[in-house]
């Protein structure tokens, strides 16, 4: 089974590339982040023509997550149980379902904006709620994983130059501690390093030629429990999909399971 995660940065803008990628990549389940559409605007019909069922948690603003599956889509849960609100609203940042016997979450962790901002505090609380919500599945016998844009680089090796990010979000001790707490719940980073590239980043800003210069960050992660990690036979960042006109600023991260 091939499972992937991809922040598409607007599914409407990326739809032609998404459809082509699904056809060429052989992906069975795709976790999507940053749909930037309402549930009604989501292109479920076009995806169904390719054989994919869709589950969508989106409200048309800057967030939105989805799961696409051609191996079943059962027991869908919208949102993060027990998750915090921001400005009185629980943002559409999580969705989970069982696909082909594997329980999966697609998550879009809050950005945090800047250290000390209310959104930064919200980010830390959101991660605490995520840890609590997944703890039972993390230690279970069924393959389970949380995939998505975590908006955190786990280590200094996951950014092109730590000095550039000093004092900024995505690399602070508190964020990394929250990520470590998620791993301590029974999950592991199942995309090993080194991969094909010395620096397997997943995100490159559109500005300042960041992609050609490989000035990137590894913030799109796959955290799986022991049965998921044991079933893994390959994992990679599809860096080629970041190239060319109309690309997202994130690349898909792909994991192959022997299931």
- The answer to whether 7 is a known ligand-binding residue is yes
Q: Is 214 annotated as a binding residue?
A: no
Per-10-residue mean pLDDT, the chain, length 259: 98 97 98 97 98 97 95 98 95 98 98 96 98 97 98 95 95 98 96 65 96 96 98 94 96 96
Active site (annotated) includes residue 119: no
151 labelled binding-site residue:
yes
What pLDDT score does 195 carry?
54
Residue 250 annotated as catalytic: yes
Global pTM reads 0.96
Annotated binding residue at 249? yes
The whole-angstrom separation of Cα 178 and Cα 255 is: 24
User: 133, 80 in Cβ contact below 8 A?
Assistant: yes
Q: 2-7 and 29-33 as β-strands: parallel, antiparallel, unpaired?
A: parallel
Q: Which of 120, 203, 220, 250 is catalytic?
A: 250
pLDDT tens digits for 18-58?
Answer: 999 999 999 999 999 999 999 999 999 999 999 999 999 99
Would you say 150 and 191 are in contact if contact means Cβ atoms under 8 Å apart? no
Structure tokens at 170: 């995505």
H-state helical runs in 155-219: 173-184
Candidate list 149, 158, 229, 256, residue with the active-site label: 149
Give the pLDDT confidence score for residue 61 in this predicted structure.
Answer: 80
List the chain domain ranges. 2-257
Domain 2-257 has CATH 3.60.10.10: yes
Task: Let me know: does 6 contact 203? Beta carbons within 8 Å.
Answer: no
Q: Is 125 assigned a ligand-binding role in the annotation?
A: no
């Amino acid at each position: 089974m091939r499972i992937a995660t991809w922040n598409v940065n607007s599914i409407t803008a990326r739809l032609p590339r998404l459809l082509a990628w699904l056809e060429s990549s052989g992906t069975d389940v795709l976790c999507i982040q940053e749909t930037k559409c309402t549930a009604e605007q989501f292109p479920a019909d076009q995806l169904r023509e390719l054989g994919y069922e869709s589950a969508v948690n989106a409200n048309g603003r800057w967030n939105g997550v989805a799961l696409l599956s051609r191996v079943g889509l059962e027991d869908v849960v919208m949102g993060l149980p027990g998750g915090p609100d921001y400005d009185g609203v629980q943002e559409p940042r999580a969705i989970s379902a069982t696909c082909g016997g594997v329980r999966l979450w697609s998550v879009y962790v809050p950005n945090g904006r800047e250290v000390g901002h209310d959104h930064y505090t919200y980010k830390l609380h959101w991660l605490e709620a995520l840890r609590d919500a997944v703890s039972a599945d993390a230690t279970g016998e069924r393959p389970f994983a949380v995939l998505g844009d975590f908006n955190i680089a786990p280590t200094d090796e996951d950014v092109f130059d730590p000095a550039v990010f000093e004092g900024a979000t995505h690399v602070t001790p508190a964020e990394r501690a929250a990520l470590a707490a998620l791993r301590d719940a029974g999950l592991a980073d199942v995309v090993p390093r080194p991969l094909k590239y010395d620096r397997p980043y997943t995100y490159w800003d559109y500005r300042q030629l960041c992609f050609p210069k490989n000035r990137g960050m590894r913030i799109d992660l796959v955290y799986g429990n022991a049965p998921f990690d044991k079933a893994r036979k390959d994992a990679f960042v599809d860096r080629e999909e970041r190239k060319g006109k109309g690309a997202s600023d994130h690349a898909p991260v792909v994991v192959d399971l022997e299931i």
